[in-house]
Amino acid sequence: MKTTGKVTGIVSNLVTVEVDGPVAQNELCFIDLDGVRLMAEVIKVNGNNASVQVYESTRGLKVGCNVEFEGKMLEVTLGPGLLSSNYDGLQDNLATMQEVFLKRGEYTPALDSAKKWEFTPIAKPGDKVIAADWLGEVKESWLPHKIMVPFSFKGNYTVKEIVPEGSYTVEDTIAVLSDAKGNDVKVTMQQKWPVKVAIGGFKEKPRPYRIMETGVRAIDTFNPIAEGGTGFIPGPFGCGKTVIQHAIAKQAEADVIIMAACGERANEVVEIFKEFPELIDSRTGRKLIERTTIICNTSNMPVAAREASVYTAMTIGEYYRAMGLKVLLLADSTSRWAQALREMSNRMEELPGADAFPVDLSSIISNFYSRAGIVVLNNGQTGSVTFLGTVSPAGGNLKEPVTESTKKCARCFYALSQNRADSKRYPAIDPIDSYSKYLEYPEMEEFFDSKMEKGWVEKVLKAKNITLRGKEAYDQINILGDDGVPMEYHLRYWKSELVDFILLQQDAFDNIDCQTPLDRQQYMLDLVLDICSRDFKFERFEKCVSFFKNLINIMRQMNFSQFHSEQFNKYQQQLLNTVDNVL
């Protein structure tokens, strides 16, 4: 029998309920408000009183309203049809809601139960299987979507029956499995999984060892993120966090992109809704939307659902990972998620940690980041979830709890700098403060040695060093004046400007410059390093300045041209002539 209860207190979306039976932490319940059922989650229990956070507005709620507990945690539905869908933080399908305004208590099914999918069996009767093993496959537009033994199945099973090739709905039984005791269990193409629990079902989780290409030079060349790796982008507002995330969502070489718009602007999501069905993925030639799932809980949607949204996104990511796919999960912004935690903690009158955030903030964040990773599946194939979150530090100050907690667990740090943004040097990723721990991984170095060239990492470090020395020189020039420093300083500074303008800066709105494949990144890095290695002699620093400005202008035109096109080659020739003239 279900546990029930009655509302005894209300503060904003925190409601206390007196219960008549057992309740579990994080258990779901529905509060009945004149026939409208409001979903809520248990976040604290004290005696017979459960505190629940309501995923909806609590306007009109009264003491005495009936509450019904569900006996399960917040779950998502996993199955074919997730791709190209637009969900809210609780996995309600936004596209199938009828009205312009979101209606309280309206929950729409995540998957279309009428749609038929072409199923091809992989397993045969008699096969021994365990959770997450592949039973069959359906084509989800282009993607081979594996139908798996539900993750919740414990122990060993034998396939008793499996349906032949044909079309089935997500609710049709496609296989019958028998457990060790001989009990039969029916399996459909959809399964449920609680979002706050990581999906297992893989053999091992090795250290990341290969790159996740994004087409953004400041990332791929300078601070690469590994497939299955984690990274975060903190930055004050107006520094281009969202532009970078969108660029990565469009360009990254992933099979599946999950975008969690967590407490951010609705118009940014609308941009994705509008652009992704039109934009083409240059690698597969398919529409971007065909590989994308959007979890959208914008800032004006209920706070508790915002907290759930990142978990919903992660769970869907893990589901596709179990199919042996490369998943990229983007969350914008994890600070809003942390703020949702803070709002609840505050209403529960918990003793606050720094900046009134809950004291366990750090462990919650690192627990979440740890769900990313590359894994070796039971069948030996690999799958991965790469996670990139943004952080919106209060006041642009990186010494705040969310940034600090995230820094402890994310392996890549892409600091967006206000100075760079102010001078329109986009992407505003600071070349000196940012880092990628993956550059230090011997596995990654090995990978680069074979994928790019021997000694690649060294080259990258050399380029980084040029920017660092350039900055030092710039500081000296500012203190001592243009004429007060040796010519060498000007050279150093301008070489770093060359690296900045040609490699680091990238026009996200230019059709060609926005995405640079690795081979082109390598080519341009070589070109820039070649120029930087030369020993130029100038009599006056003005000569040096105008020479480098000219170089930058020519090379920018190269960046705007099709790689190796006639135009590109023309500019390159012009560049070489200019350089030779000076030497």
Partner 1 sequence: MSSNVFQRIYTKLEAITKATVTLRATGVSNDELAMVAGRLAQVVKIKKDLVTLQVFAGTEGIPTNAQVEFFGEPPALNVGEQLSGRFLNAYGEPIDGGPKIEGERRYIGGPSVNPYKRQQPSELIPTGIAGIDLNNTLVSGQKIPFFADPDQPYNQVMADVALRADVDKIILGGMGLSNDDYLYFRQKFEDAGALDKIICFINTTEQPPVERLLIPDMALTAAEYFAVDKNEKVLVLLTDMTLYADALSIVSNRMDQIPSKDSMPGSLYSDLAKIYEKAVQLPTGGSITIIAVTTLNDGDITHAIPDNTGYITEGQLYLRKDTDTGKIIVDPFRSLSRLKQLVINKKTREDHSQVMNTGVRLFADAANAKTKLENGFDLSDYDLRCLDYAKEYSNRLLSIDVNIKIDEMLDTGWALFKKYFKPEELGIKQSLVDKYWNR
Q: Which 485-544 residues touch partner 1, going by CB under 8 A?
A: 509, 542
Choose, by CB under 8 A, the member of 84, 91, 298, 436 that binds partner 1. Answer: 298
Least CB distance to partner 1 at residue 499 (A) = 16
279 binds partner 1, rule: CB under 8 A: no
Q: Print the SS3 string covering 243-287.
A: HHHHHHHHHCCCCEEEEEEECCCHHHHHHHHHHCCCCECCCCCCE
Residue 287 or 556 having the CB closest to partner 1: 556
573 binds partner 1, rule: CB under 8 A: no
475 binds partner 1, rule: CB under 8 A: no
Q: Which residue has the tokens 């803070």?
A: 342
Query: Which of 53-61, 146-154, 454-462, 526-534 is the region at the interface with partner 1 (rule: CB under 8 A)?
Result: 53-61
Residue 270 or 461 having the CB closest to partner 1: 270
Closest CA to 202 of 337, 367, 3, 385: 385
6 binds partner 1, rule: CB under 8 A: no
180 binds partner 1, rule: CB under 8 A: no
124 binds partner 1, rule: CB under 8 A: no
Which amino acid, one-letter code, is at 321? Answer: R
21 binds partner 1, rule: CB under 8 A: no
580 binds partner 1, rule: CB under 8 A: no
Choose, by CB under 8 A, the member of 210, 336, 420, 520 that binds partner 1. Answer: 336
Query: Which of 58-66, 74-82, 177-185, 223-231 is the region at the interface with partner 1 (rule: CB under 8 A)?
Result: 58-66
Least CB distance to partner 1 at residue 273 (A) = 6
Choose, by CB under 8 A, the member of 4, 173, 476, 557 that binds partner 1. Answer: 557
Which residues lie across from 412 on neighbouring strands? 231, 436
Least CB distance to partner 1 at residue 264 (A) = 8
Is-contact 184 140, C-beta < 8 A? no
Q: How far apart are CA 498 and CA 522, in angstroms?
A: 15
Residue 63 or 130 having the CB closest to partner 1: 63
Which residues lie across from 330 on neighbouring strands? 259, 388
359 binds partner 1, rule: CB under 8 A: no
Query: Which of 194-202, 454-462, 521-529, 554-562 is the region at the interface with partner 1 (rule: CB under 8 A)?
Result: 554-562
Q: Which token pair is 432?
A: 């000196």
Neighbour-count burial for 519-546, b at 16+ CB within 10 Å, e otherwise: ebbbbbbebbbebbeeebebeebeebbe
Query: Which of 39-47, 169-177, 451-459, 555-563 is the region at the interface with partner 1 (rule: CB under 8 A)?
Result: 555-563
Sequential DSSP letters for 490-509: HHHHHHHHHHIIIII---TT
Closest CA to 479 of 471, 488, 467: 471
- φ/ψ of 181, rounded to 5, equals -90, 0
Least CB distance to partner 1 at residue 461 (A) = 28
Query: Which of 183-191, 313-321, 373-381, 553-561 is the region at the interface with partner 1 (rule: CB under 8 A)?
Result: 553-561
Residue 450 CB contacts under 8 Å (≥ 6 apart), including other chains? none
* Burial label, 302 (beta-carbon count in 10 A; 0-12, 13-18, 19+): buried
Count residues near partner 1 (CB under 8 A): 76
Which amino acid, one-letter code, is at 548? Answer: F
218 binds partner 1, rule: CB under 8 A: no
Binding mask 81-110 for partner 1 (x = CB under 8 A): -----x-------xx-x-xxxxxx------
Closest CA to 137 of 168, 161, 177, 91: 168
Choose, by CB under 8 A, the member of 3, 51, 53, 58 that binds partner 1. Answer: 58
Q: How far apart are CA 250 and CA 357, in angstroms?
A: 34
Binding mask 223-262 for partner 1 (x = CB under 8 A): -------------xxx------------------------
Choose, by CB under 8 A, the member of 130, 180, 270, 280 that binds partner 1. Answer: 270
273 binds partner 1, rule: CB under 8 A: yes
- φ/ψ of 237, rounded to 5, equals -65, 150
Residue 97 or 376 having the CB closest to partner 1: 97
Least CB distance to partner 1 at residue 243 (A) = 9
Residue 337 has what DSSP assignment?
Answer: H
209 in helix, strand or coil? coil
Choose, by CB under 8 A, the member of 282, 478, 569, 573 that binds partner 1. Answer: 478
Choose, by CB under 8 A, the member of 192, 205, 207, 265 that binds partner 1. Answer: 265
Residue 71 or 396 having the CB closest to partner 1: 396
Residues 315-334 binding partner 1 (CB under 8 A) are 333
Residues 339-358 binding partner 1 (CB under 8 A) are 339, 342-343, 346-347, 349, 352, 355-357
Q: Which token pair is 331?
A: 């969350």
Residues 415-474 binding partner 1 (CB under 8 A) are 422-424
Residue 343, CA distances (Å) to 177, 338, 340, 358, 427 in order: 45, 9, 5, 9, 32
Q: Which residue has the tokens 């720094």?
A: 354
Residues 60-79 binding partner 1 (CB under 8 A) are 60-63
CB-facing half-sphere around the CA of 111: CA atoms within 13 A: 23
Q: Which token pair is 579?
A: 């350089």
Is-contact 476 526, C-beta < 8 A? no
Residue 287, CA distances (Å) to 250, 271, 274, 430 in order: 10, 15, 12, 32
42 binds partner 1, rule: CB under 8 A: no
Choose, by CB under 8 A, the member of 550, 574, 576, 582 that binds partner 1. Answer: 550
429: left (phi over 0), alpha (psi -120 to 50) or beta: beta
For the chain, the straight-line distance linking the first and the last C-alpha, in angstroms and rounded, comes to 87
Least CB distance to partner 1 at residue 88 (A) = 8
403 binds partner 1, rule: CB under 8 A: no
